Every structure is written in structure tokens, then in C-alpha cells.
């Protein structure tokens, strides 16, 4: 970060795009389609010295904490435990059998989560091994015919 302190840096916040028909929310820049680049480039902001210093100090704290996971909590990136998102995942699972793919999709729409499907699946596997949830279906593709419920 210190290499950039004396540079003029512009950032584009890729969060949402409003159109006539819809509001598109992005959790990750990788979700943005190439035709959206001009839209976000028009919204760039220059970061001042004090802001860069603040970012650097916050990043230094995260590096010292050396946590395995970080999450956007409110408007801050914080170190969190690997179980941090479990509460959001569990509120999308009932005590009745439901398609696993439906649970994963619903979790991905949780504003608080902003995680990828592989992470949700990993946590579901962990919760199943801890007997918090039960997963049934074939051993093949984890999505295809699996169902899940709370224990």
C-alpha cells in the first residue's frame, strides 16, 4: 500500500447499476459484464492522501490479525471466524427437505453474505459433518439431486 501513497489513484465502486427496468447489484467485480465498464468508469473517484493512509492503517491491522477469513461487516472489512456466515446460511434452510441448489441460490441473494457458491457448499458440508444439517442424495455432483434440511 505504501507504494501508492504518492500516486493519484482513482477507484470505481462496483456495487450497483440502475437501469430503466432493474437494479443490478454486484457482489464481486467478476459479475460485471464488459459492457458495464463505461458505466462504472464514469463514476470513478480520486482517493486523497488521508484516505489512502486510513486504508493502509486498516489493512495493516487485518494483516496483523492474520485471520483465515475476512468479511464486509457493515461498511468495514473485518476478520471473522469460518462460522461467521453460518447464521445467514441456516436461515435459508428449513426442517423440511428442500433442494440443495435452492438453498445455495437463496444464500447467494443474502445481502450480508457476498460469498461464492463453493464457499456455501463447503460450509454446508461442514455443518452436515457436525450434524447441524442433513444432506441426502447421490454421491456424484453435489448440486444435481441433493436435498437438505435442518436436523
* pLDDT for the residue numbered 101: 93
Residue 81 above 70 pLDDT? yes
Q: How many CB atoms lie within 10 A of CB 113?
A: 19
Residue 115 above 90 pLDDT? no
CB of 90 closer than 8 Å to CB of 132: yes
* pLDDT for the residue numbered 63: 94
Q: Where are the domains of the chain?
A: 2-66, 86-150
Q: What is the pLDDT of residues 24-34, one digit of tens each?
A: 777 667 777 88
d(CA 44, CA 17) in angstroms, rounded, equals 14
CB of 142 closer than 8 Å to CB of 124: no
* pLDDT for the residue numbered 112: 79
What sections of 83-149 are H helices per DSSP? 86-90, 100-108, 117-129
**DSSP code at position 119:** H
* pLDDT for the residue numbered 119: 93
Tell me yes or no: is domain 86-150 CATH 1.10.10. yes
Q: Can you give the pTM of this predicted structure?
A: 0.73
Kindly indicate the confidence band of residue 122, based on its pLDDT and cuts at 50, 70 and 90.
very high
The torsion defined by the Cα of 37, 35, 77 and 74, in degrees rounded to 10, comes to: 110
Residue 89 burial (CB < 10 Å; 0-12/13-18/19+)? buried
Compute the chain's Rg from CA coordinates.
19
- Which residues contact residue 50 at a Cβ distance below 8 angstroms, ignoring those fewer than 6 apart? none
* pLDDT for the residue numbered 124: 95
Identify the helix (H) or strand (E) that includes residue 39. helix 37-41
Kindly indicate the confidence band of residue 144, based on its pLDDT and cuts at 50, 70 and 90.
confident
Of residues 17 and 60, the one with the higher pLDDT is 60
Amino acid at each position: 500500500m505504501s507504494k501508492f501513497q504518492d500516486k493519484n489513484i482513482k477507484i470505481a465502486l462496483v456495487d450497483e447499476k440502475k437501469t430503466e427496468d432493474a437494479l443490478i447489484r454486484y457482489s464481486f467485480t467478476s459479475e460485471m459484464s464488459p459492457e458495464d465498464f463505461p458505466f462504472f468508469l464514469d463514476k470513478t473517484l480520486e482517493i486523497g492522501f488521508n484516505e489512502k493512509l486510513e486504508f493502509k492503517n486498516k489493512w495493516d491491522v487485518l494483516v496483523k490479525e492474520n485471520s483465515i477469513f475476512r468479511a464486509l461487516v457493515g461498511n468495514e472489512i473485518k476478520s471473522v471466524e469460518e462460522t461467521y456466515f453460518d447464521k445467514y446460511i441456516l436461515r435459508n434452510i428449513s426442517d423440511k427437505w428442500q433442494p440443495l441448489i435452492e438453498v445455495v441460490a437463496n444464500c447467494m441473494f443474502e445481502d450480508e453474505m457476498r460469498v461464492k457458491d463453493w464457499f456455501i457448499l463447503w460450509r454446508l458440508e461442514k455443518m452436515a459433518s457436525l450434524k447441524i444439517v442433513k444432506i441426502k442424495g447421490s454421491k456424484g455432483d453435489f448440486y444435481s439431486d441433493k436435498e437438505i434440511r435442518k436436523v
